[in-house]
Amino acid sequence: MIKINDNCTGCGLCIADCISEAISMKDGRAQVERPCIECGHCYAICPVDAPEIPGVDMEDVEEINPAEFVDVKALLHTIKGRRSVRQYQNKSIEKDKLALLFEAGRYTATAVNYQDLRFIVVQERLTEFKELIWNGLAVMAEFPEKNPDIERYAGHLKKKAKDPADDYLFRNAPAIIFIVTDRLVDAGLAAQNMELAAVAQGLSVMYNGYMVRAANMVPGAAEWLQTEGRLISACMLAGYPDVTYLKTAPRKKADILWK
Ligand SMILES: Cc1cc2nc3c(=O)[nH]c(=O)nc-3n(C[C@H](O)[C@H](O)[C@H](O)COP(=O)(O)O)c2cc1C
């Protein structure tokens, strides 16, 4: 449970901003009355670092400087300019660049502040993982009556049978990132932030719905990935793009109702 230390001046900012309504004023000082979702707003808003949140790393707290936020024009240009990339350079992604993707994922909003996301990057053992998936799909295809979803992979398996070097499912990407959580919206939000962090570093990703389904259904894949019983909710191929887009892709007009 969060504690308020002696730094508290009783300004009340944390009380007004607490979603759990867990803080009250007593004798001119804030005090936490009951367990809350530990969203950290009380700490983020406090001018004197009075709230103490157990079990989190305070080392990586940053002072916020709104002047350093990316401006909306640059942000929109990045959003419009990012593309799902299906051609990658034969080049590994540096660990420090990947770490920034996970930083973007970690700081994403999560329902009830669950922060129940596991990020798995498969890069060093990608060949092993690919074999697991391809072999698993091939075995499942032998028993279509037991595995109705395997039909979706008929085309992939056919291409692979014709050309064993075919990598249609993985697109020769040097890395695959999985997000494991039973909370699909949390996974989607984290994935989008991670894509933007990738693009900001010269990388590209491609959401791979086929890989999500395959990783969830191929026997042994979830264990190999160490999902610990949770759903594989998002998957992104990732790498340095081997393609250059000169323009943004046209989009339908937004369906907006102004009421
Ligand atoms: C949840 C999700 C799953 C996707 N799955 C695949 C996939 O399995 N294979 C693929 O080639 N593209 C996949 N995509 C990429 C979409 O086809 C792509 O976003 C869309 O065509 C628009 O292109 P853009 O992302 O370059 O703007 C997926 C996208 C999302 C959001």
Distance CA 229, CA 246 (A): 43
C-alpha angle 227/232/234, rounded to 5°? 135
Verify whether ligand 1 is closer than 6 Å to residue 84 (CB atom). yes
Q: Is-same-fold flag (3-60; 72-239)?
A: no
Spell out the CATH class of 3-60: alpha beta
DSSP 256: -
Stretch 68-78: mean pLDDT: 97
Domain boundaries, the chain: 3-60, 72-239
CATH architecture of the region 72-239: 3-Layer(aba) Sandwich (3.40)
HSE (side-chain half, CA atoms, 13 Å) at 153: 30
First-to-last C-alpha distance (Å) of the chain: 42
Q: Hey, whose CA ends up nearest to atom 21 of ligand 1?
A: 84
pLDDT of residue 60: 87
Quick check: CB of 168 below 6 Å from ligand 1?
no
CA 185 to chain centre: 10
Q: Is the CB of 83 under 6 A from ligand 1?
A: yes
State percent of the chain over pLDDT 90: 96
C-alpha 62 – ligand 1 centre gap (Å) = 34
Question: Which of 33, 51, 75, 216 has its CA nearest to residue 133?
Answer: 216
Ligand 1 pocket, 192 CB below 6 A? Answer: no
CB 123 within 8 A of CB 175: yes
Q: Residue 27: is its pLDDT beyond 90?
A: yes
Q: Which residues contact 50 (CB under 8 A, 6 or more apart)?
A: 4, 5, 6, 7, 8, 9, 14, 30
Res 12 pLDDT > 90: yes
Q: Which helix (H) or strand (E) holds 118?
A: strand 118-122
Helix, strand or coil for residue 170?
coil
For atom 19 of ligand 1, the residue with the nearest CA is: 84
Ligand 1 neighbourhood includes 224 CB (under 6 angstroms): no
| Average pLDDT for 141-160 | 94
- The Cβ of residue 85 has, within 10 Å, a number of other Cβ atoms equal to 22
Q: Which atom of ligand 1 is nearest to the CA of 85?
A: 26
Taking the centre of ligand 1 as the mean of its atom positions, its distance from the CA of residue 209, in whole angstroms, is: 8
Amino acid at 104: A
Residue 187 pLDDT more than 90? yes
pLDDT per residue as tens digits for the range 82-136:
999 999 999 999 999 999 999 999 999 999 999 999 999 999 999 999 999 999 9
